[in-house]
Amino acid sequence: MAAPDQIQSNVEESIKGAEEACAEDPASGECVAAWDEVEELSAAASHARDKQKVSDPLETYCKDNPETDECRTYDN
């Protein structure tokens, strides 16, 4: 599942930018900073993706309150 469109296109753009910056001079500060930006945006995209995942309200509630009636589980 890909991240929301805006963040996703940011990642794509930053990768293109990094490849361009490094094509000129792979040892330059610009090249390194560009890839660092890619890393930062990729991490942000990953978090956004995780946020999108629908969380079940019952699961969340039962995590904190396993002893309540609706959350009790029986193994046999």
Applying CB under 8 A, which of residues 20, 39, 58, 68 lies at the interface with another protein?
39
Q: How far apart are CA 3 and CA 49, in angstroms?
A: 5
Smallest separation, CB 58 to another protein (Å):
14
Is 58 a binding residue for another protein by CB under 8 A? The answer is: no
* Total length of the chain: 76
44 Cβ partners below 8 Å, 6+ apart?
7
Residue 42 φ/ψ, nearest 5 degrees: -65, -40
Smallest separation, CB 57 to another protein (Å):
11
Q: Which residue ranges make up the site for another protein (CB under 8 A)?
A: 1-3, 7-8, 11-13, 15-16, 18-19, 22, 28-40, 42-51, 53, 55, 60, 63
